Every structure is written in C-alpha cells, then in structure tokens.
C-alpha cells in the first residue's frame, strides 16, 4: 500500500488528502447528488382505483374500435372471432380503466344477455358466431367470471350505479358457491364448474394458476368480506411457491393439486405458455413487493442483452416457441419495473394494437405500472 | 465511518488532489498536533496550510488560549463570516505568535448550525442538504459538525426504512436497521415498531418480541403503550403477541390499560370465526367479552351487529334479532337492517321481514335481499292480494338494480292478472338482463295474449335458437284459445264447414257451432252470431256453448246489450257468464267514457272491478275520468301507480297532466 511506504509527512499529507476527499465525498452526498436507487415504495392499495387508470388513451380508442362490436361483443380475432367470458371481462376492465361508461354498459349488456344464461349465475364461457345456438358449451371459465365481477364492482362504485354493484356481487357470490373448493393447500379456484373437481378426473383437483387474478381477489376481499377471499389468494401464492421449487421455477399452464403436491396436470402439454404468462402480470399488479415471486420470471426473461421470451417446456427447461409480440414484452417490462425500478420502455407505450391477446396484455401491463409502480412511468 | 457510497467523480477528485499535493515541496516541521486538529476541522484551505508550512517562526512558541494573543479581531471577522479577513488574521497571528493555534470554536459551529438544526427538526431534509451545500460554497473550509452529519445520515436512513416498510420489503427494513443499530431505540417508537413488524413478518418472532418489549418499556404515554401492543397484535397475531399483555398496568379504577385491546382481539377472533367454515367451535371467551362490551351503554353499533351475526349463525334467532335491533337503534345502518330482515325471515315472520327491508332499500344489499324474499310471493300459485305499495317498490328496485329474476317474477305476476302489456314489457327486460327459458316462454305467451303476431314470430325464432327445449307455442286468436281449453274440439275442418255454410245449408247444431267458431276466428262476428243462433237449437252443452259463442260474437260486433241478454238467458256456466259480464262491463264503461259520462264510467268500472282486477287500459281510463271530474290528486295517485308498475308514454302523459307543476305543465 502506498500509504505505509511513504515517509511520515507524506503519509500525513496523504491522510489529509484522503480525509479531505472523504469530506468532499460526504459533502457531495449530502448535497444530494443521487445515485441510481432501487425500486421504490409501491402505492398503497386503497388509494388507487382501476377507474381511469389506463395511461394511454389512444390505446383504448384503438382497442375498442378493433375488438368491440356495436352490440358490445369483444372479438378474439385470433381464435376465429369467437367471444368468451375472458374477453368480455377484459373488455369491461379496460373500459373502466379508460373511464368509458358508455362502452362499458354496451359490453355488459351483451355479456349478460348472451353469456349469463346458467342457472347458477356464472357465464357460459364461449360464444361462436354463425347460426344459433351460438353458445354450445354451457361450462363456465372462472377467470372470466372473476374479471367480470371485479370490473362490475369497481364500476358500480366509481359511477354510482347500484345495478352494476349488485350484479358484481351476484357473480362474485356465484364464483364462491360454485367454483371455490377446499384442497390440501387451501381454498382453490376451479377453472370451471365441470370437469376439474374431485370425481371428474384422476388427478383432480386441477387448477389453472393464471386464473388467480390477484388484484381482483384483493378487491373481493375488500368489497365482499363475508367470504375469505384472502385465503383463496393465499392458496394461489402457495401454489406458485411450490412451482418455484421446480427446475425452471416457472408455473405450468394446468396444475394438479392431488395429494397436496403441485405437478403439471395430465393431458395438457407441460409448458409455461400463453396462459401462465399472466401470472407475473397479476403478481406485479398487487400491492406489496414480492421479490421472490417475480424472481424466476425476471431471471428467465431479462437476461443480459435484452428481453428474451418464449413458451417453455417445463420438463427440459428449453424454450419451445418464441413470444415476440410487444404485448408479451410488456409483461417482462412490468416485471423489471417492479423488481428494479427500470423505466417502462417508450416503445411499449404506443397506441396501436394488433391482435387481441397481446394487445390486451400490454394494456393491462400499462395499467399495472400506472397504478402500482408509478415511478417506472 | 461516514463514507456511504463511492462515486466515480469523488474518486477522480481524490486522485487529482493527491497528485497535486505530492508535487509540492515538503517541509519537515513538527506541528503535528496543530496541523491535524486544523485539518480535521477542515477550517483551513490547502493554500493556507502550505503557506503556514512555508513561513518561519519569528517569536517564541505560543500555545492555544494564550492570553497574550488578542483574538478579538479574529473572532469578529469570523462572526461576520469574512473568511478572507479571517485567513489574513490567522496568518498575522501565526507570524506573531508561532505555535499559536486558531481557537477551536472560532466559527461557533453550535450557534452557526442553529438554522440547520431547525430544518432538521422540521424534517425538511432536502432543504437542509441544500443549505449545507450553499454554506459550503459560500464559506470555503466550512463543514457541518460531526453531530449534524451523523444525525442527518440517521434521519435519511430512517426515511429509507419507512419507505421500505411501507412497501412491505421486510428484508430491506432489516438490512437498514442493521446498518445503524442506533435507529432502534426507546426514543423512536415509530421506527422500532416498523423494524419489529419486519422481523415478525419475516418469521423472527423472538426478535420482534424483544423489540416490542423495548418499545413498551420506553413508551412514555398510555397511547404509546397501547399503540405498541396494538402493533404487535397486527403484526404477529393474538397468540404470539399474548405475552405482552402480562406487562399490563392496572389503573386506579381497577381496569387494565390493555382492556380495549383485548376487546379488539375478541372482535377479530369472532370476525374470523364468521368467515371460516361452518362447524368450527365458537370462541366462547371472545364472545362473552365482546358481548359485554357491546351491551354496555357506550357499546358500538358495529359490535352489536357483529354479535347479531354470530347469533344468527348459531341459529339463536331471538337473541340475534335483539342484537340487530340494538345495533339499528345505535345507527348501524344497512348491515343491521340486513341482519334484522334475515332473522325475521328465518323465524317465519315474512311480512315483518319485508316491512323492515322496505325501510332501507336505498342500500343495495338490502334492496337485493328484498327482491329475493319477495320474488316467491309474486309467483306462488295462490298468492292472494299483495299490498300495492310492496309491488310498486319491488318493481322500482327491479328497475334500479336491473334484476332479471325480479323482472321475470313481475312478468308472471302481470300475466296472471291478465295485464299482458305489462307482462310483455317485464319479460322483455328479463330477457335482456338474465335470459332464461321461462322468461322466453312468458314473453311469447304475453305477446300471444296481446295478439302481436309479428313480434311473436320474430322473437320465437330468436328464443328457440337460444333455448332449444322451449315448448312449442302456437300463435292463436286469444278468444279461441280460451274456448279451446273448455269446449269440444271442432269435428270438421274450417274450410269444409265454411264451404257448407256458403251454400246456405244449415247442417246439425254441432256443425253450426263449429262453423260459428270458424267464423269468429276469421273475424266475421255478425255471421258467427247467426251461426251460433242456429246452434242454440241443439241440446245441453252444445246450446250452452252456442250461447257463449253468440255473446262473444255480439261483443265483438259491439252489440253489448244483445250480448248481455244472451249471456243472462243462455244457460252459461257461472264462470263464462262472469267472463261475458266482465267484457260487457268493460265495453259499457268505454262507451260511457267516450260519451264523456265520467262518473257513470267510473261506476261501471267499479262494478267490474268487484269481479276482476282492472287491466292497465281500464285503469288509465279511470284515471282520466277522475281527472275530468276534477279529482286531480286521485287521478295523480292512480297514474303514479301505473307509472311505477311500468313506465310508458301513456302513464307519463297522465302524470304530466295531473301532477304538480314540476312535471312540466305550464
């Protein structure tokens, strides 16, 4: 070390210099010349409403022009122009986020007149264009009902419309009564009333991790506290914690909870794909920082050199099919924002839309950034 | 050490300073103590120290605080912050008194920093840092005191910790806490609580308890003490935080300081019990404690309601009702009403339940419950008379909440009261709000009753497409349908019979009867009357039915008097006689109304109403008659009822004509 080899005066001078330098350093820091900081505090959950939370108004204009018919049907252009309770639900959420009650009511009117025909108050999940009957599969899809109930509840409060509030509560109650089952890991969401519960298949109960719409469940806990929605959310967290222990750390599209374990379900390709892509979206959308929950997605997607996303084969751990659309990148950007405060890229803030699913994911990611991580904006 | 983070800029600065200094000539002088003290305090610039080293001492050595040295000018210049003069004076004094040191308190940092401490005290950290920067620029050589630097750093850490705690980033909170152990302290409860929370939420229960105990010990006020326990309960739950209650102090009135917290714990426990699965045993101690608190004179409405829900769950209905009524009395609002309605309903007091619900239907949940409770009443086969205000409120809420089920119930209710226009309207809403096979069927039946063939056909296709198992409904003449239920089936096809009739042949009585009905279906009422006359020659049932048919035919062609005469004499069954009678009365009333004979029209309607509920059309006619008689408020009441049942252009026109000015009349 230089210091020790110098004669004493030198050492003293160097000491002086070092001390002065330190003093300057201290002064510099005190003066507030700040260095890049890590992700900052998330907004408190009660403060931020879904209403009006979409930060790119042109995006709603484009999305609704392209995907919402005058009757209020939301068209999935990639899946043969069908509609489903999921697309209707996302349409309602986005209309609310764009503070557009007119289009919201149009979408809701079509949804309840055409999909909510089941006696138990849940929606038949699928509507196909063409000759009647347009609804051929009466089964529900629980994530669609959750999205619809969430949007209705928040809209009813935001626009002071008791009809919307009442309808949202009815559907929420229906989800609890018909689609929540007790499992070894806690109360869990059945993907549909038929076909996934005990007695329907050997590896029952089978769940879809991406059906846990965490921000919706948090809202249900607040607005319908007579049911233990927090326990349902906790079960979802348990399931994801279990899948984090796997080789890839990623959740499967369909998981069996038989025997209290979480394994990819029989009969479905054991991949992390288009469905499960929404898991980190919903996680990053909730309040509270969940570093370890988001870490596997961050590690997989935001490697050095940029964002790399693909459908992953969970057995081999290999990428199977690349996911190139901006919509999917937006989910990766949201994760990076949530974990490291990385600014949400300008390129992903455009108003143009292409296909239904990625366009919807991008819009939802924008809402999540705006409501949960405003410093990334 | 004070160093927090390195920045490339500072390192470069350090390096350049080092190089510059090393280039200067070295003087081997032993003023170590003086030099170090001076440099440490940062009160002299590099130039000054160089110059100081360069000068040779003149006089004997002097020491600090030497009374011979007159420092007054120096201090004066320092107090004026006249740094250039201070430097010059220092040089002068040093030259005069070698060995003399400038006094340590020359710039009185304590007093000088008062403004800074003020900012610190007000937590205006950004301004504080700005001020420090300004002073450093203004007074080269000035530095904030160690104390200030230390405290400022701690304050910044504190702010960071609070941010991390708000973000629920427990790991970060604990990391920051480790960086500066003095952050934890009995003095700073806020921070101690947050660190304890982070420990608790990360599973380090023992550490959390340690911190809560520390906070409890150091807390100065009662609020701080109970606040600490409250925080512990929130972070760790009642079971883990229990030991803290052992440190409870008993006040002079014998009550423990944490008693209200115990009540909070009980409240939470009961809330959890309500949310949990059925069959879990009731936490009795918590129940007793909360009941005691709730029944006290200053008990809260919400607690009373909560006990009510617990009792309701346990099926202790009378007790539950008592608690809900208590809660309502204390102003608990809709939640208490909800409970009160449910307990009354569960006890079989349906009317009371509905009456109570009606007092609070502004609340969406109560309104929904009201709809659910009453829907059955409207559609039960023999429901008897239902109070009109209840039906009106039911309709109003159905509209407000856009309830498909309620709309369907109203559809069937209207259908049964033969108010087909209202029925059709309600079924249409039911199909828009909650489509079902029953609503579809009801809608089509109503359209049939109205004779709206076009709309019937249009919707039948749509509805059958959506509900393939919809029963077949053929569109028939409404009069014919009524008869078809009770009369004999025609023997031969209509075209054959009419062909015979056209030839002027009479045929048998039963053929004449069948011909009569065919002619009615073809809207040839006068000819039908003649055919029926012939059929009355037959015996028994045929003659009776012929008389019935003839009455209807007379009514159709507007010969009310003849119809009444035939009905009276023709051997009709009482039911049919009454049916004819109703239609006769309706027609008479209409004739009177057209003739502007208002009171007679009302009288006739009254006679008719004694036998059968009044249809909307006749009700409207009654209302207009009242209006013409000057009985405006009665007319208004009737229009209001009509409008509430189903708001149409006609009902609104009536309101406008009879209502107070705000309805738009000039």
Q: Can you spell out the DSSP letters for A236-283?
A: HHHHHHHHHTSSS-PPPSSEE-GGG--EEPTTS--EE-TTTTHHHHHH
d(CA B26, CA A87) in angstroms, rounded, equals 81
pLDDT at A137 > cutoff 90: yes
> By three-state DSSP, how is residue A188 classified?
strand
- Asked if the Cβ–Cβ distance from A19 to B2 is below 8 Å, we say no
B3, B5, B136: residue with CB nearest A35: B5
CA–chain centroid gap for B380, Å, is 33
Closest-CA residue in chain B for A35? B7
Q: Is the Cβ–Cβ distance between A264 and A255 less than 8 Å? A: yes
| Nearest chain A CA: its distance from B133 CA (Å) | 5
Render pLDDT for B243-267 as a digit per residue (tens, 0 to 9).
888 888 888 888 888 888 889 889 9
Q: Which residues of A touch B17 (CB under 8 A)?
A: 17, 20-21
pLDDT for res A22: 47
Q: What's the rounded Cα separation, in Å, for the pair B352 and B392?
A: 18
Q: What Rg, from alpha-carbon coordinates, does chain B have?
A: 48
Residue among A18, A31, A117 minimizing CB distance to B435: A117
Q: What is the band of B382 on the pLDDT scale with cuts at 50, 70, 90?
A: confident
| CA dist., res. A21 & res. A18, Å (int) | 5
Residue with tokens 């992700």: A39
Distance from B649 to chain A by nearest Cα, in Å? 24
Has residue A368 got a pLDDT over 80? yes
C-alpha distance from residue B313 to each of A228, B278, B323, B342 (Å): 16, 9, 13, 11
Of A47, A71, A76, A86, catalytic: A86
Q: Given a cut of 60, is residue B299 above it in pLDDT?
A: yes
Residue identified by tokens 């009569």 is B516
CB contact under 8 A, B2 and A26: yes
Specify the residue for token string 């304890």: B196
Joined tokens for residue A185: 């890991």
Residue B129 is nearest to which of A31, A114, A117, comparing CB atoms? A31
Specify the pLDDT at position B616: 86
8 Å CB contact of B21 and A16? yes
Strands (E), B154-235: none
Of A31, A41, A112, the CB nearest to B167: A41
Would you say A35 and B5 are in contact if contact means Cβ atoms under 8 Å apart?
Answer: yes
For B537, other C-beta atoms within 10 Å of its C-beta total 13
- Pair of tokens at residue A351: 């108003």
Specify whether the CB–CB gap between B129 and B95 falls below 8 A. Answer: no
Question: Taking residues A116-122, what's their average pLDDT?
Answer: 95
Of A172-186, A335-349, B488-502, give the range with the top mean pLDDT: A172-186
pLDDT band at B146 (very low <50, low <70, confident <90, very high): confident
Dist CA A194 CA A178 (whole Å): 10
Active-site choice (A76, A100, A143, A219): A143
The answer to whether A277 and A361 are in contact (CB under 8 A) is yes
DSSP state of A113: H
Distance from CA of A254 to the nearest CA of B (A): 27
Given a cut of 60, whether residue A7 has pLDDT beyond it is no
pLDDT: is A185 or B518 the higher one?
A: A185
Best mutation site among A17, A33, A116, A119 for testing chain B: the one with the most B CBs within 10 Å? A17
Contact B406, B394 (CB under 8 A): yes
Q: Which residue has the higher pLDDT, B559 or A1?
A: B559
Inter-chain CB proximity A163 and B400 less than 8 Å: yes
In terms of CA atoms, which chain B residue is nearest residue A339? B169
Alpha carbon of A35: minimum distance to chain B alpha carbons (Å): 8
| Spatial separation of the C-alpha atoms in residues A122 and A116, rounded to whole Å | 6
Lowest mean pLDDT among A84-93, A200-209, B16-25, B188-197: B16-25
Shortest distance, CA B363 to any CA of chain A (angstroms): 9
> Which H helix or E strand runs over B301?
helix B301-313
For residues B523 and B557, is the Cβ–Cβ distance under 8 A?
Answer: no
- Cβ distance of A163 and B401 shorter than 8 Å: yes
Question: Is A25's pLDDT higher than 50?
Answer: no
- Residue B397: closest C-alpha in chain A: A163
Give B594-633 pLDDT, tens digit per residue: 999 999 999 999 999 888 888 888 999 999 999 999 999 9
pLDDT at B2 over 60: no
Alpha carbon of A98 to those of A49, A214, B14: distances in Å? Answer: 12, 21, 54
Q: What is the pLDDT of residue B505?
A: 63
Testing the interface with B: which of A5, A7, A8, A16 to mutate, by most B Cβ within 10 A?
A: A16
- Report phi then psi at A310, rounded to 5: -160, 160
Separation CA B160–CA B150 (nearest Å): 15
Is A273 within 8 Å of A210 (Cβ atoms)?
no
Peptide bond into B348 cis (omega under 30): no
CA B413 to chain centre: 32
User: CA torsion angle for A164, A169, A170, A171 (degrees, to 10)?
Assistant: 90
pLDDT at A47: 55
Q: Is the pTM of this model over 0.90?
A: no
Contacts of B35 in chain A (CB under 8 A): 12
Query: Chain A: nearest CA to B439, how far in angstroms?
Result: 11
Confidence of residue A24 (pLDDT cuts 50, 70, 90): very low
Conformational region of residue B90, where left means phi above 0, alpha means psi within -120 to 50, and beta covers everything else: alpha
Nearest to A162 among B4, B163, B364 (CB): B364
Q: Is A86 a catalytic residue?
A: yes
What tens digit of pLDDT does each residue of A27-75 get?
Answer: 433 333 332 322 333 344 445 789 999 999 899 999 999 999 999 999 9
- Residues whose CB is less than 8 angstroms from the CB of residue B223 and which lie 6 or more positions away in sequence, other chains included: none
3-state secondary structure at position B103: coil
Q: Provide CB contacts within 8 A for A261, sequence distance 6+.
A: A242
- Give the pLDDT of residue B501: 73
State the ipTM, two decimals. Answer: 0.80
pLDDT of residue A36: 30
Tokens of A69: 């018919």
* Catalytic status, residue A143: yes
Distance of CA B225 to the CA centre of its chain: 35
- The beta-carbon neighbor of B10 closest among A25, A165, A289 is A25
CB atoms within 10 A of CB B619: 21
User: What are the chain B neighbours of A44 within 8 Å (beta carbons)?
Assistant: 166
d(CA B535, CA B539): 9
A237 burial type by CB count under 10 A (0-12 exposed, 13-18 middle, 19+ buried): middle
Q: What is the pLDDT of residue B186?
A: 62
Q: Which residue, among B409, B462, B459, B465, has the nearest Cα to B434 in the 3D structure?
A: B409
- With a CB cutoff of 8 Å and minimum separation 6, the contacts of A193 are A120, A122, A139, A140, A178, A179
Question: What is the mean pLDDT of the segment spanning B110-137?
Answer: 80
**pLDDT for position B480:** 45
Q: Which of A34, A31, A21 is nearest to B137 (CA)?
A: A31
Determine which of B368, B407, B429 to mutate to test the interface with A (most A C-beta atoms within 10 Å). Answer: B368
pLDDT at B575 over 60: yes
Rounded-to-integer distance, Cα B651 and Cα B570, Å: 40
Report whether A31 contacts B133 (CB < 8 A): yes
- Residues of B with CB below 8 A from A30's CB? 129, 132-133, 144, 149, 152
Closest CA to A227 of B338, B336, B277: B277
Q: Assess whether pLDDT exceeds 90 at residue A1.
A: no
Cα B457 → chain centroid: 42
Q: Number of A:B CB contacts under 8 A?
A: 148
């Amino acid at each position: 070390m230089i210091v020790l080899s110098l004669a004493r005066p030198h050492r003293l001078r160097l000491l002086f210099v070092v001390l002065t330098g330190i003093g300057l350093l201290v002064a510099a820091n005190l003066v507030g010349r700040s260095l890049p900081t890590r992700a900052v505090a998330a907004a408190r959950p009660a403060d931020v409403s879904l209403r009006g939370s979409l930060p790119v108004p042109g995006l709603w204009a484009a999305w609704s022009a392209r995907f919402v018919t005058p009757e209020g049907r939301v068209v999935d252009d990639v899946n043969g122009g069908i509609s489903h309770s999921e697309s209707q639900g996302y349409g309602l959420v986005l209309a609310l986020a764009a503070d557009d009650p007119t289009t919201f009511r149009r979408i809701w009117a079509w949804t309840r007149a055409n999909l909510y025909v089941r006696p138990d108050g849940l929606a038949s999940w699928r509507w196909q264009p063409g000759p009647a009957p347009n609804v051929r599969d009466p089964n529900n899809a629980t994530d669609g009902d959750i999205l619809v109930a969430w949007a209705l509840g928040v809209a009813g409060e935001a626009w002071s419309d008791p009809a919307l509030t009442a309808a949202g509560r009815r559907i929420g109650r229906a989800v609890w009564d018909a689609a929540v089952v007790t499992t070894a890991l806690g109360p869990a969401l059945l993907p549909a009333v038929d076909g996934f519960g005990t007695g329907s298949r050997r590896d029952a109960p089978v769940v879809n991790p991406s059906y846990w719409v965490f921000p919706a469940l948090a809202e249900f806990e607040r607005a319908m506290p007579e049911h233990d929605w927090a326990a349902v959310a906790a079960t979802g967290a348990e399931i994801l914690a279990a899948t984090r222990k796997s080789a890839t750390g990623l959740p499967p599209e369909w998981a069996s909870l038989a025997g209290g374990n979480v394994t990819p379900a029989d009969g479905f390709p054991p991949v992390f794909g288009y469905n499960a892509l929404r898991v980190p979206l919903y996680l990053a959308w909730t309040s509270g920082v969940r570093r370890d929950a988001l870490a596997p997605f961050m590690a997989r997607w935001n490697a050095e050199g940029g964002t790399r996303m693909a459908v992953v084969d969970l057995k081999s751990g290999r990428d199977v099919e690349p996911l190139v659309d901006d919509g999917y990148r937006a989910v990766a950007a949201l994760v990076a924002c949530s974990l490291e405060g990385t600014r949400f890229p300008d390129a992903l803030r455009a108003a143009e839309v292409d296909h239904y699913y990625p366009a919807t994911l991008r819009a939802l990611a924008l809402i999540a950034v705006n409501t949960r991580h405003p410093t990334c904006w | 050490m004070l160093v927090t983070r390195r920045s490339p800029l500072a390192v470069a600065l350090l390096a350049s300073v080092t190089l510059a200094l090393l280039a200067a000539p070295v003087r081997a002088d032993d003023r170590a103590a003086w030099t170090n003290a001076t440099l440490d305090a940062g009160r002299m610039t590099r130039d000054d120290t160089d110059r100081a080293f360069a000068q040779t001492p003149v006089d004997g050595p002097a020491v600090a605080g030497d009374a011979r040295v007159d420092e007054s000018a120096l201090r004066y210049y320092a107090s004026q912050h006249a740094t250039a003069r201070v430097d010059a004076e220092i040089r002068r004094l040093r030259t005069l008194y070698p060995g003399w040191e400038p006094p340590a308190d020359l710039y009185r940092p304590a007093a000088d920093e008062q403004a800074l401490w003020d900012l610190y005290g007000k937590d205006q950290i950004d301004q504080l840092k700005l001020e420090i920067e300004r002073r450093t620029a203004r007074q080269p050589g000035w530095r904030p005191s160690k104390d200030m630097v230390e405290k400022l750093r701690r304050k910044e850490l504190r702010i960071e910790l609070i941010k991390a705690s708000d973000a629920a980033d427990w790991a970060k909170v604990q990391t920051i806490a480790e960086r500066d152990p003095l952050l934890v302290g009995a003095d700073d409860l806020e921070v101690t609580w947050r660190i304890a929370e982070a420990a608790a939420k990360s599973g380090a229960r023992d550490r959390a308890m340690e911190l809560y105990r520390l906070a409890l010990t150091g807390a100065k006020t009662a609020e701080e003490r109970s606040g600490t326990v409250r925080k512990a309960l929130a972070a760790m739950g009642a079971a883990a935080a229990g030991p803290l209650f052992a440190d409870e102090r008993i006040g002079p009135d014998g009550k423990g300081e944490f008693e209200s917290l115990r009540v909070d714990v009980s409240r939470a426990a009961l809330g959890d019990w309500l949310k949990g699965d059925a069959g879990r045993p009731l936490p009795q101690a918590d129940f007793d404690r909360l009941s005691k608190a709730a029944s006290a004179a200053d008990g809260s409405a919400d607690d009373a309601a909560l006990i009510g829900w617990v009792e309701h769950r346990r099926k202790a209905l009378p007790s539950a009702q008592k608690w809900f009524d208590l809660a309502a009395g204390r102003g608990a609002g809709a939640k208490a009403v909800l409970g009160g309605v449910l307990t009354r309903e569960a006890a079989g007091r349906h009317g009371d339940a509905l009456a109570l619900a009606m007092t609070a239907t502004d609340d969406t949940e109560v309104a929904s419950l009201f709809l659910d409770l009453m829907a059955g009443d409207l559609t039960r086969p023999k429901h008897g008379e239902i109070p009109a205000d209840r039906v009106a409120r039911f309709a109003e809420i159905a509209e407000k909440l856009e309830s498909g089920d309620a709309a369907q119930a109203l559809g069937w209710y209207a259908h049964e009261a033969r108010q087909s226009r209202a029925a059709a309207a309600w079924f249409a809403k039911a199909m828009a709000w909650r489509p079902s096979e029953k609503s579809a069927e009801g809608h089509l039946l109503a359209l049939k009753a109205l004779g709206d063939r076009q709309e019937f056909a249009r919707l039948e296709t749509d509805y059958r497409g959506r509900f393939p198992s919809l029963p077949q409904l053929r569109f028939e003449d409404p009069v014919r349908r009524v008869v078809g239920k009770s009369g004999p089936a025609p023997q031969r096809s209509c075209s054959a019979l009419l062909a015979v009739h056209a030839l002027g042949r009479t045929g048998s009585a039963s053929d004449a009867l069948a011909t009569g009905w065919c002619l009615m279906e073809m809207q040839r009422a006068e000819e039908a009357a003649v055919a029926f006359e012939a059929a009355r020659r037959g015996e028994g049932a045929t003659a009776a039915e012929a008389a019935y048919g003839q009455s209807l035919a007379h009514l159709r062609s507007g010969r009310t008097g003849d119809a009444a005469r035939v009905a009276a004499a023709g051997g009709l069954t009482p039911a049919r006689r009454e049916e004819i009678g109703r239609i006769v009365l309706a027609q008479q009333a209409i004739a009177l109304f057209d003739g502007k004979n208002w009171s007679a029209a009302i009288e006739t309607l009254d006679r008719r109403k004694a036998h059968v509920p009044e249809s909307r059309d006749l009700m409207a006619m009654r209302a207009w008659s009242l209006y013409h008689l000057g009985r405006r408020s009665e007319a208004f009441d009737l229009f209001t009822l009509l409008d509430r049942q189903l708001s149409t252009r006609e009902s609104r026109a009536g309101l406008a004509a009879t209502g107070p000015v705000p309805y738009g009349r000039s």
